[in-house]
Chain A
Amino acid sequence: MSVPAFAELLERLLFTPGRNGKVALIRQWFATQPDPDRGIGLAALAGELNFRTAKPALLRELIATRTDPVLFAMSYDYVGDLAETIALLWPEDARSNAPPPGLAEVVRTLDGAGRGEVPAIIAAWLHALDSGARLALIKLVTGGLRVGASARLAKVALAEWAGQEVGEIEEVWHGVRPPYLPLFAWLEGRGPRPDPAGQPIFRPLMLAHPLEAKDFEALHAPDWRAEWKWDGIRVQLTAGPGGRRLWSRSGEDISGSFPEIIAAMDFHAVADGELLVVRDGEVAPFADLQQRLNRKTVTAKMLKEFPAAVRLYDLLFEGEEDLRPLPFDARRARLEAWHERARPPLSSLSPLIGFGSMEELAAIRDGARAAAIEGLMLKRGDSPYTPGRVKGPWWKWKRDPLTLDCVLMYAQRGHGKRSSFYSDFTFGVWRGEELVPVGKAYSGYTDEELVWLDKWIRDHTTARFGPVREVERHLVLEVAFDAAQRSTRHKSGYALRFPRIARIRRDKPAAEADRVEAVEALVVGSLA
């Protein structure tokens, strides 16, 4: 019964707002589902399910031969989502008595099926399922599965279910593959700990807190090192005998989008840095880097027009030696010496910025106007590399204008020449587990970004109210603005002055967007 069971899990996750509730639902999945289905479910939750998917057009054809076109159009118009419309409309008079397919069976069958066989296979499955399970199946086979839980939450649930530390799960994670049979065997005490050795694995990153006025006052200049905060994306480079990988900040493998970087990683080390587009030594604007993100295939033209490079600022492993316990200054010395020796192509070191006092550093920050620089990073000279966001050892100190990473909540159609696009955006920040609106913006994006946003909104709508669409809370927007003030205009209790969309942060998970406390901190006073 596992497609129906999986459908019920997805349905409950979608409607359950609380973290604890979601964890309980996922735990139950691990406890009650058989192998290999529970592992396929885990892969789906963790975003690691890869198999040959079917095109939505195929589903559209299947339903077209089974429904009246007028009734289909009315239904689609009412429901608003193609997959859901098909799931709800699929005829039930031909319901078969065949047992519902298992999750693993779906994945395995589609991977092995000839192109011509796929429509009949999917139709037979749909005839064996009820509407909720049909929706899950359609989303699954078209690759449109969106889960109301993050990969991290799935691992937390796995850890809680097994009575393990979540850090332990992360350590072995990149040594296992769907359906994770050795992982479950280990967690149930039936097998050895999966050995990630040799496999390139992602090491969770050390993250910085935004620097606020009250923190700034406490800083003692000699304790601190400063670097530019580059306007690219944070990456981890892992290379060694077991292979080479380029990871995003959340541990997503983005090697495929940047083959030239992978080719240049002829070393045995783990380094931390910023991925940028660099032309003739000049860092290009973030929009150029965006051309390279989320690409399955990279053309020679793209490689030439948007050449990528990395700017390194930390060394986590040299060979098999774990440098993370060392203080920053020692790691920096190792980084410089290693880079001097290895000289990996397409890489450079992010320079340390000299300063005598915090006031001087503030002046340097205010004077930095290059588009590729967002501000400064402050790192304590004695700080070991601690995964996660520990407050104190690292600060990010963005230059003006003020910015916040917000989550898109609602979109509204624009006016005039923009009337066919969703161009007015309402975004929010976190208060506890809830998102609360903090402002509305209708400028700042490029025309291409607008087209992209419009499509994203149509694909991720959860509700419509007249011209307004409510969307899934997934997309992070970096919003620039001139000032934050307290206000009753928005539910958050704050309003932003002249907010505009500075950037679409496709790389950032919604859970890591800013919180109301960050807004409050900006009200208290700016650093300038």
Chain B
Amino acid sequence: MIRIMPPHPETWLRVTEAGLYCEPGGFFVDPTRPVDRAIITHGHSDHARPGHAHVLATPETLAIMRERMGEDRAGTTQQALGYGEALTVNGVRVWLRPAGHVLGSAQVCLEWQGSRAVVSGDYKRRHDPTCPPFEPERCDVFVTEATFALPVFRHPPAAQEIGRLLASLALFPERTHVIGCYALGKAQRLIALLRQAGWDRPIPIHGALQRLCTLYETLGVKLGPLVPATVAAKDKLAGTIVLAPPSAIADRWARRLNEPVPCLASGWMRVRQRAKQGGVELPMVISDHADWPELLATCAEVEASEVWITHGREEALIHALGQQGIRGRALHLVGRGEEDAE
């Protein structure tokens, strides 16, 4: 019996101008320009782009894409694939595993001729009440992000950061605490974390967050009472926690609130000089990306002999992986880290 060595993933999974391309399967993962066949890891705009002919993703990601881009731009045909379901595309087996990043986020697992690659998209390992947790999948090549790939990035427990927010509100009970957060994922996670901390009052949200919060509710994520944050009724907002997009917390919209305390929830808030930019008064280190220990632990856990890095700070990660005997390779994918770089 002849034993055939499985092909190295770099022979069938390549970086092209449009992004990562699976040659035998004839499809791209998170392509940056319109293509014929795309598999999308999650709904953030640096991964899910409009105009593909055929789109495969989790039902939640497809719903998010339709909500954000409109039915007609979210793929001419959409094909849903649930977590753990598998299908075969031109001989390439394809299945999805939760990435724990935002609702619907998935790692794309690919296997061809006994050789397996996992494209993780963006991911985190912390508990998130709004989406299922990351599931490691053993593979030969693990394709990872590296947004927070420096050892200085270790996210504290999210509950602790929520505690700091509530303590600030107790100290400044008349001031409106406005938290800057991204519309997809971060906003809903913050709301869920506030609910877990016992904050059951209606939460005013900026208009830009409304549609995705409604969609999350439709998809079964309970967020509790939300109300529009209309600046016209600013007295009603005194002493409340308001959620808004990051761009809104320092602009005229927020200044019309009652002595606002601008807060920003992001992994970047770990470093002071980053936090000092943009007039943030209460930096909150809450991230939907893996921190440094989680990146290293995940790479070890999937037992991959090679780790490919899509975007972020790859130098430090390649160095640290090398010390664990894992070969790291920077893919330098362009156009990543735009929306959810936080």
A positions within 8 Å CB-CB of B: 8, 12, 14-17, 21, 24-25, 28, 67-68, 70-71, 74-75, 78-81, 84-85, 88-89, 92, 130-131, 461-464, 470
Between-chain CB contacts (< 8 Å), 20 pairs: A12-B168, A15-B275, A15-B276, A15-B280, A17-B281, A21-B172, A21-B281, A67-B151, A70-B319, A74-B315, A75-B151, A75-B316, A85-B152, A88-B153, A89-B151, A89-B152, A131-B270, A461-B273, A462-B273, A463-B276
Residues of B within 8 Å of A14, CB to CB, are 272, 276
Nearest-CB residue, chain B, relative to A8: B164
Given contact pairs A15-B283, A28-B171, A84-B272, a sample of 12 additional A-B residue pairs in the complex whose CB atoms are under 8 Å apart: A15-B275, A24-B171, A25-B171, A70-B319, A71-B316, A75-B150, A79-B271, A88-B151, A88-B270, A89-B151, A92-B154, A130-B156
**Is residue B282 within 8 Å, beta carbon to beta carbon, of the partner chain?**
yes
- Chain B 259-274, CB-CB to A under 8 Å as 1, else 0, gives 0000000000011110
> How many angstroms from the CA of A89 to the CA of B272 in the assembled complex?
14
> How many angstroms from the CA of A74 to the CA of B316 in the assembled complex?
7
> How many angstroms from the CA of A48 to the CA of B271 in the assembled complex?
28
B37 → A minimal CB distance (Å): 38
B249 → A minimal CB distance (Å): 13
Q: Which of B279-334 contact A (CB under 8 A)?
A: 279-283, 313, 315-316, 319-320, 323
Residues of A within 8 Å of B315, CB to CB, are 74
Residues of A within 8 Å of B218, CB to CB, are none
Residues of A within 8 Å of B277, CB to CB, are 463
Residues of A within 8 Å of B152, CB to CB, are 75, 78-79, 85, 88-89
Residues of B within 8 Å of A8, CB to CB, are 164
> How many angstroms from the CA of A28 to the CA of B168 in the assembled complex?
11
> How many angstroms from the CA of A70 to the CA of B322 in the assembled complex?
12
B positions within 8 Å CB-CB of A: 150-154, 156, 164, 168, 171-172, 270-273, 275-277, 279-283, 313, 315-316, 319-320, 323
> How many angstroms from the CA of A268 to the CA of B74 in the assembled complex?
87
Say whether B150 contacts A68, CB under 8 Å: no
> How many angstroms from the CA of A21 to the CA of B177 in the assembled complex?
13
> How many angstroms from the CA of A131 to the CA of B164 in the assembled complex?
15
Residues of A within 8 Å of B172, CB to CB, are 21, 24
B43 → A minimal CB distance (Å): 29
Nearest-CB residue, chain A, relative to B319: A70
Say whether A68 contacts B323, CB under 8 Å: yes
B177 → A minimal CB distance (Å): 12
B273 → A minimal CB distance (Å): 4
B163 → A minimal CB distance (Å): 11
6 smallest CB-CB distances across A and B, nearest first, come from: A88-B152, A463-B273, A75-B152, A15-B281, A74-B316, A71-B151
Nearest-CB residue, chain A, relative to B157: A130
Residues of B within 8 Å of A80, CB to CB, are 273
Residues of B within 8 Å of A15, CB to CB, are 275-276, 280-283
Residues of A within 8 Å of B171, CB to CB, are 24-25, 28
Say whether B276 contacts A462, CB under 8 Å: yes
Nearest-CB residue, chain B, relative to A74: B316
Residues of B within 8 Å of A131, CB to CB, are 154, 156, 270
> How many angstroms from the CA of A67 to the CA of B151 in the assembled complex?
10
Nearest-CB residue, chain B, relative to A84: B272
Known contacts: A15-B282, A71-B320. The answer to whether A79 contacts B154 by CB under 8 A is no
A223 → B minimal CB distance (Å): 45
Contact of A71 among B273, B281, B319 (CB under 8 A): B319
> How many angstroms from the CA of A78 to the CA of B149 in the assembled complex?
11
> How many angstroms from the CA of A239 to the CA of B273 in the assembled complex?
46
Residues of B within 8 Å of A17, CB to CB, are 279, 281
B72 → A minimal CB distance (Å): 41
Nearest-CB residue, chain A, relative to B277: A463
> How many angstroms from the CA of A131 to the CA of B292 in the assembled complex?
15
Give the interface centre of B150, B273, B316 by most chain A CB atoms within 10 Å: B273
B160 → A minimal CB distance (Å): 8
> How many angstroms from the CA of A74 to the CA of B283 in the assembled complex?
23
> How many angstroms from the CA of A21 to the CA of B150 in the assembled complex?
34
A88 → B minimal CB distance (Å): 4
> How many angstroms from the CA of A88 to the CA of B319 in the assembled complex?
19
B126 → A minimal CB distance (Å): 15
A484 → B minimal CB distance (Å): 28
Nearest-CB residue, chain B, relative to A80: B273
B155 → A minimal CB distance (Å): 10
Residues of A within 8 Å of B283, CB to CB, are 15
Say whether A68 contacts B271, CB under 8 Å: no
B311 → A minimal CB distance (Å): 16
Nearest-CB residue, chain A, relative to B320: A71
